[in-house]
Structure 1
Amino acid sequence: MIATPAEWQPRWERFAARMPELPTSFGAASGSSGGGSAILLNTAAANAMQQIPDGVVIQISGSLAPPEIKHTWNVVGELAGSDPKRRHEAISLSAHMDHLGVRRPVAGDSIYNGADDDASGVIAVLELARVLSAGPAPKRTVYFVAYGSEEQGGLGSRYFIEHPPLPLENLVANLQFEMIGRPDPKVAAHTLWLTGFERSNLGPELAQRGARLVADPHPQENFFQRSDNYILAKRGIIAHTVSSYGLHEEYHQPNDDITRIDFAHMTAAINAMHKPVVWLANSNFKPAWVAGKNPAEE
């Protein structure tokens, strides 16, 4: 139970709008009954609670509304591999197509657009799908995936991993594109960064092939664990998120809109990923986790 003066209310609402860290496991531990709840009390109620002697059992009751059933969708495109000996191997390029919808108005605006988070990533996946399908068919199969309900805890990617279009051991690598619509001032112009860069040899190999890709300059934010890539990584798949999010103030706010997108940056960044992705889809290279860095073993 938490005492919440009226002036704290906006703080709690901002906290509730933050991206949650995706769960590291998807089943309750043996004997566990699940998580708890936070009960917010106004000042008067909190003061009254403090007067109750220790050891007194308090019973709180309430009524729950019937659960509301909602639906979400994934969109999956497949570019079949051309090599009969290699087409069973695949890479996936992904982003999430959901955002926060309609919420509490900020400055009169209640529509949370999500232009950077993550329409920019969806554009990257669509553009790479366009150029790869227009060229020679790659030797490996390529999946282009737009997940639903990432903001609700990675529901789309969790469904994908439980109902994969191929055996998971044949999924060589995943690149998730997340918030690439604006440059990060902590890295060079038109540069992207890769979450968990130090965890596998995928990032360094792509950089050697021309990708403008560096290590995540915000390790304290734990971004590797905060997008759909982590759902796949927990199953041992080499999966990272490509981003250039510079911790801008429009994150999860209504003013994350198209007027703030830097199209020159986004275009240059996507173009720089094209040839490295083509190389990955045609090469014999199979990325691997660095010893001790495999999320499936943590």
Structure 2
Amino acid sequence: MMIRICLSLTALVCATTLLTAQRAALPTTDAEARVLAATINVEDLRKHLTTLADDAMEGRETGQPGQKRAANYLRAQLEDLSLPAIGPDSSYFQSIKFSRQAWEAIRLVHNGTELRHLWDYYASPGTNTSRDAIDIEEITFLGYGIDTDTYSDYRDHDVAGKTILILAGEPRTRKGNFLLTGTKDPSDWSLNDGRKLELAKAQGVETVLIIDPAFRRNVQDIRKEVLDGRLRMVEQTEAERSFANAVYITPDLARTLVGKKNKKVVKARRRIEKSGKLRPVTVATDLQLTQRKAVSELIGENVLGYLEGTDSLLKEEVLVVSAHYDHLGKRGEAIFNGADDNGSGTSTVLEVAQAFVLAKDQGLGPRRSVLFLWVSGEEKGLLGSEYYATHPVFPLEQTIADINVDMVGRVDEKHAGDPYYIYVIGSDRLSSELHQINETVNRDFTQLELDYTYNMESDPNRYYYRSDHYNFARNGIPSIFFFNGSHADYHRDTDTVDKINFEKMVRIGQLVFYNAWQLANQDKRIEVDVRP
């Protein structure tokens, strides 16, 4: 009866009073968990979702002002919960840079003859600065374009403002060992062309021509990039770019460019192998190079809410509870509010975070740490969660599971007669234990219909691969995705708050909480026992 009364009041205040008064009378963790779960309620969910799906958020499109406002709303909630700012510069954000780049014009002309891009040469728009045609009257062969304490192609050679021709990889001795390591194993100079291009930029080089012995294989990757118009994550914006412009050329084209001085270039290369010293070769030429790009850039933010665990032996392990908070933004005058997609999941994770904070304030745990993660860029191709998975704040090997909440506020046509259901996706793909935990806590606490239709490998919708949990699952982290199914307002400007079933959201939010509570508190970390 007391719990029923509490649900009609402000849940957080009431639950705190109840836990304080009755803790001695609560004999089991299950009973305490029920009280915590009861703080997930209609009033709070409605408050969060009404704000997030308001017209003022302009559809929360990644990189746009509405997404920034939504991120700041989430930040304010985390501050109110007294969660620490663990992002860079003591913020709650993990910034993500996105870019869409394509060639408007890419031309290389030699002695009046235009060479063929992706046949004689290739250049990546993502690693070059946009510029109009330049004339190149000479080329300097500069070995491998490397500079270290023990070996340098730049030492005593001024190449500022020049075009250099370099070899891919790094030098070897006549015995076949790599000169820089003294072994059969290459150094980072072979594995990271960006290092050479950063060095060239720092030395004032205007253009780098790289002889690629694996040209026919490598050009296929550039072909895909050139033809792909999607946004991609980048480490640097155009303003931050630190690479010299570069063009990869075939060995045949290299021989054509150096012409009669080819023997001198070969001799210079052999001298490196013999003595570890370079004698540059300068060649007169007649080249015109154009690298003009079309660039679209934006910056999004993941939002990080971290609750440290209380068990000294387990708190290094981290459970992630995730939802994407971005949506489609505006199209003309139409605002795509995204109440269900995914204001509903965003609000649900906020409520679960509040329940966990209350638990810790009352000395109830959790034993493991929990990261509440709101990602952006999902509508651009799961980019925010991909960024987190490749730039994790906490090591992936210490991440025990991901619970992902994406669209939990509506009822699809199949379940029109009973809204208390949820589609469960991915729970058994990596861990049979995760699947069983969800089954058990649902049976004991929430009694929703668990529908596994979209979890089947044969599902033509392939939802398992279409939400943010997948970027954890693909890294071997057990993941479970809660989803209410599609509806007529999916990705339309009619996905609004007035159509949300908040009572259903409460039950699903509580199911998320019970799963998270179990995973964060059980003695043994769940096992990965299913081969993908």
Is 2:426 aligned against 1:196? Answer: yes
1:209 match: secondary structure: helix
Instruction: Compute the displacement of 1:171 (Å).
Output: 0.4
What is aligned with 1:122? 346
Q: 1:158-183: per-residue Cα shift (whole Å, max 9, x none)? A: 11112212111110000110000113
For residues 70 and 209 of structure 1, the distance between their equivalents in structure 2, rounded to whole angstroms, comes to 41
Task: Describe the superposition over 1:212-262 as per-residue Cα deviations: whole angstroms up to 9, x where unpaired.
Answer: 3624323331111001111111111112211112x2011000000111111
Query: Is residue 355 of structure 2 the alignment partner of residue 131 of structure 1?
Result: yes
Return the offset for 1:147.
0.1
Higher relative contact order (CA 8 A, sep 6+): 1
Of residues 148, 152, 174, the one that matches 2:376 is 148
How far the C-alpha of 1:146 sits from its partner, in A, is 0.4
- Consecutive unaligned residues of structure 1, counting only runs of 5 or more, are 1-28, 39-62
Q: Select which of 399, 402, 406 maps to 1:178.
A: 406
**Inter-CA distance 94–122: structure 2 relative to 1 (3 Å threshold):** same
**2:438 aligns to what?**
206
CA drift of 1:204 comes to 2.4
Q: Paired residue for 2:511, among 260, 272, 289?
A: 272
Give the corresponding residue for 2:394.
Answer: 166
Residue in structure 1 matched with residue 473 of structure 2 by the alignment: 233
Pair 1:243–1:121, CA change in 2 (3 A) = same
Name the aligned partner's letter for residue 142 of structure 1. Answer: V
Return the alpha-carbon distance in structure 1 between the equivalents of residues 365 and 412 of structure 2: 34
- The 8 Å contact of residues 92 and 144 in structure 1, kept in 2 or not, is answered as yes
- Which of 224, 233, 247 aligns to 1:34? It is 224
Equivalent residue for 2:336? 112
Letter aligned with residue 372 of structure 2: F
Q: Name the structure with the higher strand share.
A: 2
2:304 equivalent to 1:76: yes
Distance 1:221 1:285, change over 3 A: farther
Work out whether residues 427 and 479 of structure 2, in 8 Å CA contact, stay in contact via their aligned partners in 1.
Answer: no
What secondary structure sits across from 1:151 in the alignment? helix
Once the two structures are superposed, what CA deviation does each residue of 1:42-76 show, in whole Å capped at 9, x if it has no partner?
xxxxxxxxxxxxxxxxxxxxx98731221100001
Amino acid corresponding to residue 119 of structure 1 in structure 2: G
Q: Which moved more, 1:185-194 or 1:29-38?
A: 29-38
Paired letter, 1:194: V
Q: Report if aligned partners of 1:184, 1:244 keep a CA contact under 8 Å in 2.
A: yes
Match for 2:492: what amino acid? Q
Name the CA distance, whole Å, in 1 between partners of 2:428 and 2:371: 25
By how many angstroms is 1:190 displaced?
1.9
CA distance in 1, matches of 2:292, 2:339: 34
Alpha-carbon separation, structure 1, partners of 2:449 and 2:370? 21
For residues 257 and 129 of structure 1, do their structure 2 counterparts lie closer, same or farther at Cα, with a shift above 3 Å needed?
A: same
| Counterpart secondary structure, 2:301 | coil
Alpha-carbon spacing, 1:236–1:213, altered in 2? closer, same or farther (3 Å):
farther
After alignment, is 88-97 or 157-166 more displaced?
157-166
Number of aligned residue pairs: give it. Answer: 236
Q: Secondary structure at the match of 2:299?
A: coil
| One of 453, 465, 468 as aligned partner of 1:217 | 453
Does the CA contact (< 8 Å) of 2:322 and 2:404 recur in 1?
Answer: yes
Partner of residue 180, structure 2: none
For residues 118-139 of structure 1, the C-alpha deviation after alignment (integer angstroms, 9 at most, x for no partner) is 0000011000000110112200
- Greater C-alpha Rg: 2
Q: Which residue of structure 1 aligns with residue 110 of structure 2?
A: none
| 2:318 pairs with 1:90 | yes
1:207 counterpart letter in structure 2? E
If the length of structure 1 is used for normalisation, what is the TM-score? 0.73
Distance 1:122 1:168 in 2: 23
C-alpha separation between the residues in 2 aligned to 1:240 and 1:268? 17
Aligned residue for 1:34, secondary structure, equals helix
Does the 8 Å contact 1:197/1:215 carry over to 2?
Answer: no
For 1:285 and 1:189, locate their aligned partners in 2 and report how far apart those are by CA, in whole Å: 34
Gaps of 5+ in 2: 1-216, 230-290
- CA change 1:153–1:262 in 2 (3 A) is same
Select which of 282, 287, 292 maps to 2:526: 287
The answer to whether the 8 Å contact 2:377/2:383 transfers is: yes
Could you tell me which amino acid in structure 1 is paired with residue 453 of structure 2?
P
8 Å CA contact retained: 1:192, 1:244: yes
In structure 2, distance between residues paired with 1:254 and 1:143: 31
User: Counterparts of 1:198 and 1:148 in 2: how far apart (Å)?
Assistant: 26
Amino acid at match of 2:357: S
Alpha-carbon contact 1:192-1:214 (below 8 Å) kept? yes
Identity %: 30
Following the alignment from structure 1 to structure 2, what is the Cα–Cα distance between the partners of residues 37 and 281? 41
CA RMSD of aligned residues (A): 2.3
Q: Secondary structure at the match of 1:220?
A: coil
Separation in structure 2 between the aligned mates of residue 275 and residue 198 of structure 1, nearest angstrom? 18
Report the Cα offset of residue 191 of structure 1: 2.1
